[in-house]
Amino acid sequence: MSNVQIINKFGMFIHWGIYSVKGYHEQYRGRMGISRSEYRNLMYEFDPVKYNPDEWVDLAHNAGMEYICFTAKHHDGFCMWDTKYTDFNIMNTPYGRDVLKMLAEACERRGMLLSIYYSVPDWNHPNAYNPASSHQAAPEPSDKPDTALYREYVKNQITELLTGYGKIYTLFWDIPPRIKDPSINELVRRLQPDILINNRGYDEGDFETPERKVPEGDRFDKLTEACQSVGQESWGYRSNEDYYTSGFLMKSIDKIMAMGGSYLLNAGPMPDGRIDDHTAAVIRRVGSWYTRVREALQGAAPPAGPVADWPQKSKYIVVEKGGYVYLHFYEGLNASGATLKPVTVLPLSAVLLNDMSPIRFSVETMPSVWDGSTLKTREAYLHLFGIPAERFCDEPLVVRLKFRGDYM
């Protein structure tokens, strides 16, 4: 395992390839039953003349993202870099330029970390078919499935990717092959000693990768990077996509990152290289919220001291950082106040990070906790009130509390 500890970060996932020409799905060939020879013709239609990686990096940076994970090769086997191991690559398109190199240079200019996605399934390679795995295309008559030969191909391509594009933050294998070969991750670590590797490759990696879901609980017990796409139907560009709302995505991000994970939010660029306006607008809205509450998301930890006894309710997660306690109401609030049982101590201050407005507070008994059997009210607890929940009904709310030093 890498000696580098992952710091929970917000990043951009990019699914881009010749499949974008059809505007259907990144697995267009497999899902539509297209032959290899017919699919290869898309290579000659792919000409992203409006590709400007600086625009991608600017969009990510302005949304508070710190890294970009790029699909160097998806299941179709098309390679988005100048590889010498197959002619099915970006250099043989009308565009004829190494788009990964261009992105790496743009990331370097802006101080953006670069991660690489590499699909283990390969629908173009004659040796790649692996019946033990999933996301496979049926071999064609001339194919000769051979996992050992294919793994040599993988090693050769990974060597290109990890030696020709600068420092790589993470390696995202996709689709576990159900074949154990520790030598491949060992190669990765020799080439990039500080890299972090996910758990979908030929051996155990450094981090888990929940996809399109938010796990239960309040803290991850393993390094985790969750991923979700702006589009509900596809990770690659889809011309008539059903887009998630920014509110849905923000709630997912807040819970994942409050639990200590990283989060990759995916965009599927159009065949001309641009990120479509709707996707960009969603990323900007999510980024606006994220940059306002970022201090409570990055580097926060489970609380210690008396705060550790606070129950981690399903409606909020409590974390601590730099002498502050943060409450993540990741589902939002249904009302303008919240009572925090069993807290009986007044904070020194309470602030809503969404707009930095002060929140009023008291320790009091609430009418809703009246006990009908004893005809008495129950204990007094910390009550936060006057929260402008209506103003932020589409956003997760994050409250920052400051207590006396002896309480913390």
Structure confidence at residue 304 (pLDDT): 81
Domain 10-295 carries which CATH code? 3.20.20.80
DSSP letter at 233 equals S
Whole-angstrom distance, CA of residue 198 vs CA of residue 356: 36
How far is it, in rounded angstroms, from Cα 384 to Cα 397? Answer: 13
Per-residue model confidence (pLDDT) at position 372: 67
To the question of pTM greater than 0.75 for the whole model, the response is yes
DSSP 408: -
Angle between helices 182-191 and 147-163 (to 10 degrees): 10
pLDDT for 370 beyond 70 = no
**pLDDT value, residue 373:** 72
Among 3.40.50.1980, 1.10.287.130, 3.80.10.10, 2.60.40.1180, what is the CATH number of 305-402?
2.60.40.1180
**pLDDT, tens digit (0-9, with 9 covering 90-100), for 184-209:** 999 999 999 999 999 999 999 999 99
- Give me the mean pLDDT over the 127-137 stretch: 97
Contact 195, 168 (CB under 8 A): yes
Please determine, for residue 1, whether its predicted confidence score (pLDDT) is greater than 50: no
Domain spans of the chain? 10-295, 305-402
d(CA 347, CA 365): 17
Q: Assess contact for 70 and 14: CB atoms under 8 A.
A: yes
